Amino acid sequence: MGRLLRQGQGWRLGWDAGNSPYVGLVGAEAWALELTLPELQDFCRLLGDVARTFESLTPELMPEERLTCEHSSSLIWLEAAGYPGDFDLRLLLLTGRRGEGYWPATAVRELLAASQSLSATNLEAML
């Protein structure tokens, strides 16, 4: 699979093996960032980590309590704020070219599902 673009209301996630070194794409309706393979792998992994953190804290929360959590690598920083299954997401690209993005909670659930279908193994196999 050389090229893939998944998108929904307020989000985009893409892959183009022929666009080295920036094979990945994340974005929303009004912005996009091209990512290297390691950046895209970290983004997908960290987004899953954020969702699992929110879910693991659910039993300890009152229904009206909002959470904020951060997960990062040397390449990507994510911050989520909201409720389990209903949180906004901020992205900072920490490499030399830098970049920033934001998805509202209405877009994050579908973005999460799409990102989890692009596992690190699947991405490397597509090169």
Residue with tokens 């929904």: 8
Q: Which comes out higher in pLDDT, residue 7 or 64? A: 7
CA gap 13, 69 in Å, rounded: 22
CA gap 117, 115 in Å, rounded: 5
Tell me the CATH number at 107: 2.30.31.10
Q: In angstroms, how far is CA 11 from the centroid of its own chain?
A: 10
Q: What is the pLDDT of residue 127?
A: 61
Within 13 Å and on the Cβ side, how many CA atoms surround 3?
A: 2
pLDDT of residue 121 exceeding 60, the answer is no
Q: List the one residue out of 12, 106, 112 whose CA is nearest residue 53.
A: 112
Q: What is the pLDDT of residue 97?
A: 87
Domain count for the chain = 1
Query: What confidence tens digit (pLDDT) does each residue in 17-32 have?
Result: 999 999 999 999 999 9
Q: What is the pLDDT of residue 57?
A: 86
Query: What confidence tens digit (pLDDT) does each residue in 87-98 have?
Result: 999 999 999 889
Q: What is the pLDDT of residue 58?
A: 81
pLDDT of residue 1 exceeding 70, the answer is no
Query: What confidence tens digit (pLDDT) does each residue in 34-81 have?
Result: 999 999 999 999 999 999 998 898 888 888 888 999 999 999 999 999
Q: If residue 124 lies in a helix (H) or strand (E), which one and from where to where?
A: helix 120-125
Do 69 and 53 form a contact (C-beta atoms < 8 A)?
yes
Note down the domain range covering 71: 3-125
Query: What confidence tens digit (pLDDT) does each residue in 98-119 have?
Result: 999 999 999 999 999 999 887 6
Q: What is the pLDDT of residue 27?
A: 98
Residue type, 109: R
* pTM for the full predicted model: 0.91
DSSP codes joined into one string, 20-75 = TT--EEEE-SS-EEEE-HHHHHHHHHHHHHHHHHHHHHGGGS-TT--EEEEEE-SS
